[in-house]
Amino acid sequence: MRNRSLSLGLTLSLVFAAFATPAQEVVQRPTPLPAFGRSVAGTDDTTALVQNPANLAFMPGSELRWSSLYLDESNRVPWQGHAFALGFPLPFVPVATGIRLDFVDPPYSTISGPFGQYNYQWLTWGLAIGGSPYAALGLSVQRTYSDAAEVDGLSSFTLGYSARPFDQLGFSLVAHDINGPTNAFGQGLERSYDIALAIRPTGSRALELGLEGKYVDTRDGYWIPRATLGIDVPYLGRLRGDFAVSRPDEVNRRAWLASANMAFNMSGAGGSAEFAGGAVTGTGLGEKGSYGAQVEVAFRGFREASGMEGPRYALRIRLEETPGTRGHVALLKQLWSIADEKKVDAVVLELRTSPASSLAHVQELRDAVQLLRANGKRVLCHLEDAGGAELYLCSAANKTLMNPAGGLRFAGLKSQAMYFSSMLGKLGIRADFVRIGQHKSAPERLTRDSATEVSRADKIDLLQQHERQVVEGLSQGRRIGVPELRKRIAGGPYIASEALTAGFIDGYAFDDEIDAAVDKLVGRKTILIDDERAERAPSRFGVGQRVAVVYVDGDMVDGKSKTVPLVGMKLAGSYTIAKTLKEVRENPLVGAVVLRIESPGGSAMASDVIWREVQLTTKVKPVVVSMGASAASGGYYVASPATRIYANPLSITGSIGIFYGKADVAELLKKIGVSVETYKTAPRADAESIFRPFTEDEKKELEKKVAQFYDVFLTRVSQGRKLDKKEIDKVGQGRVWTGEQALSRKLVDELGGLRQALAHARKLAGLPDYAPILELPPPDQSLIGKLLGVEGVGTKGGVETVLPGQIMDLAKALAPFTVHSPDKPLARMELMPVKP
């Protein structure tokens, strides 16, 4: 903060000094058309190419612009002509570029000099790099073209820097023509330097005042002070103006220039258009001619923050792949943003696959649909071959339609557990595990052929909890009593006509009939378009504090995060997560952290490493946990020290327990004729070897170690939740709970999804509702991930897009064998998803 204040003070001193500097006489010079009314520090359109190339980095989208300036023929400056500009940000990198061509046709009375009164073209290419959300560096290259040698071939370079350290302030430094270009006769263009401030008293672009000074580096250098004003006019656009003291005239007197310009902005879903007109006047144009007219037209690939809006419309969202972890969050943010769109009347959800990979995620989508409806949007679901997840989501909508040839594949919920003991025995593989708690059932899949009575009871209870919540949601949405609803569900699956009779849908519609269905739902003719809304230009400089959403996605392992190729299994590495938490803790631009946990647990060591970083972060800034589909065992371990814990009613959590063991292949090696000789200096040196089973002595020692690890688990949770260890142990012992059950057992603080967690994090940090989200760590960008398409997993498509679902279930069940080291204690839940 001290450095920022020092920089501000120096900049203000330089700008104010500009107004007191005496002028010196210079000759006229060729220039591109001026950007009247634009602030050097605050403008974010293609006029930055001639003012400050660094500001290209802040453009939210593409822009094509035509500018024109008309002067009286008696005016003595060369600023008459047309300019065409195109600028756009590059994909995937924080870089923007643009090109502009000025056709300059000076008036007859232009001051004569070494460059004469010749027509010329001024070509500018610019490139800007935005290394951070509040600073950018830009470069532009200019060259003139003309039939007159005096103004032909002038090539120059311009460097610009812009910083926006606060919502209320931006500043820029620009060096123009730094190479001092000369023409064929050795006549040159003088260098010039801009220092500029953009001041926004309200913290938004509604009112912006610019204070600038240009130093012209001639033999007797002089300053040109300038002030700009920008005001957003509601429902119309933006009013711009500026006032400058121009370069001195022949008798060494200051001349002045003033301009006023009104830009009318018209925004639609796909972009915006600007139509602007204004006037420029002042003695700086010449003694005889003192006025000029300016006209601009721009077409943008983004929507303006102020101005007129297009007609009302409805948006279509079509899901053809089940979203993964980040794809689900992206879908939530998409729906939340639509809720704030004033011109959107309705939303159509065309569900061609399951909308989520878990019922907990469906609950978050239902919350988003309810938010849409609370904000006056009508929601229509359209189904083809649908399942229970689609039905559960659509029960929150205003209306659900189905393709006449479609069906509803839903007759209740199910969960399945696979057991591999006999198969492993036939292969000669022996699994031997020690666990704490009779509810810690994860090792049973490897050591038994069926569930224990305790484990079976837990699974049945978990299934019943899911069934009750789903039925209650369907009952409320479809307005069918619970007893009758259970009967109708049991009668499934249904074809479309049967689903209509059962009251699960409201009617039929082919794809081409959806538009008419939307018109009927809204009550008037409505435009239905795909949700490809252009980004809206920010109303603020965008430097305020953010909320960091840190993902703990997948089995927790020691080391770095990665994705298992082909299987598509995500591994949350302790090093990666710990490093990310440390970075956000030390980042002053992060005001709060939401820890988004999508993990059944994993390595006990990895859990403890992450736990410590969460604990340290809570001492600096609020950390709010948002439990997704699961945050159990090690997933709950890392959640426990958070400031506040949110869980969906059907998030799977708990499973506080530890197991440890190995699978030895001694019998398998004997069957295939392989022998192993081991040399050791102590009896237990090879205790964790897969080439022999545990001895009885080793098993006893292992039980002690597991008990110690479990005690550490209880201690960590006790510290984080501020509960007695005995109280934690009562709800521990490996028992799995839904989020709803966990609330009554003090394992979580609130029921709610990511939206509620974000709102609470912003509140705790004192951040506004619009505080942006920063998602971390960055998704896997490895070459193998790109080649195998694994990066689509968890972003657009689910893991089922890589391998069939049943093979994935097998792979997940065998995860302790495949992704965890045999010498590591595990805090991991048994994966047994409930499927509608």
Coil, helix or strand for 305? coil
> Tokens 């998803």 — which residue?
833
Q: Are 655 and 601 in contact (CB under 8 A)?
A: yes
Q: Which two tokens stand for residue 354?
A: 């399951």
Contacts of 804 (CB under 8 A, 6+ apart): none
Rounded to whole angstroms, how far apart are CA atoms 105 and 117? 9
Residue 488: what pLDDT?
A: 97
Coil, helix or strand for 407? strand
Q: Which two tokens stand for residue 184?
A: 């064929």
Handedness of CA 296, 301, 305, 311 (dihedral sign): positive
- For 588, other C-beta atoms within 10 Å of its C-beta total 8
Rounded to whole angstroms, how far apart are CA atoms 574 and 822? 17
Residues in the chain: 836
Spatial CA neighbour of 772 closest among 532, 540, 534: 540
Residue 823: what pLDDT?
A: 63
Q: For residue 75, list its beta bridge partners.
A: none
Spatial CA neighbour of 194 closest among 181, 209, 182, 177: 177
* Residues 733, 736, 738: CA angle, nearest 5 degrees: 145
> Tokens 């995937």 — which residue?
92
3-state secondary structure 522-578: HCCCCEEEECCCCCECCCCCCCCCEEEEEEEECEEECCCCEEECCCCEEEEEHHHHH
Residue 605: what pLDDT?
A: 93
One-letter amino acid of 823: D
Side-chain half-sphere exposure of 565, counting CA atoms within 13 A:
8
Rounded to whole angstroms, how far apart are CA atoms 560 and 816? 17
Side-chain half-sphere exposure of 327, counting CA atoms within 13 A:
18
- For 331, other C-beta atoms within 10 Å of its C-beta total 19
> Tokens 């101005």 — which residue?
307
Residue 353: what pLDDT?
A: 96
Q: Are 546 and 590 in contact (CB under 8 A)?
A: yes
Residue 790: what pLDDT?
A: 40
β-pairing, 256-268 vs 414-415, is unpaired
- For 370, other C-beta atoms within 10 Å of its C-beta total 15
Domains of the chain: residue spans and CATH = 11-308 (2.40.160.60), 311-530 (3.90.226.10), 546-780+799-828 (3.90.226.10)
One-letter amino acid of 548: A
Handedness of CA 49, 51, 56, 59 (dihedral sign): negative
Residue 110: what pLDDT?
A: 61
Rounded to whole angstroms, how far apart are CA atoms 662 and 694? 9
How far, CA to CA in Å, does 162 sit from each of 131, 172, 173, 194, 556?
11, 4, 7, 11, 42
Q: Are 707 and 436 in contact (CB under 8 A)?
A: yes
What pTM value is reported for the model? 0.88
One-letter amino acid of 608: D
- For 535, other C-beta atoms within 10 Å of its C-beta total 12
Spatial CA neighbour of 773 closest among 638, 664, 624, 631: 624
**Strand ranges in 220-343 using DSSP code E only, listed in sequence order:** 222-233, 237-245, 256-268, 271-281, 291-300, 308-309, 313-319
Walk along the chain (836 residues) in steps of 10 and give the mean pLDDT of each run.
42 38 45 94 95 96 96 81 97 94 83 68 96 89 91 93 93 95 81 96 94 90 93 95 76 78 94 96 74 95 91 96 95 97 96 96 98 98 97 98 97 92 91 86 89 93 97 97 97 96 97 97 96 90 88 94 78 96 96 97 94 98 98 96 98 93 89 92 89 90 90 94 94 95 97 98 95 90 46 40 57 63 72 72
One-letter amino acid of 55: N
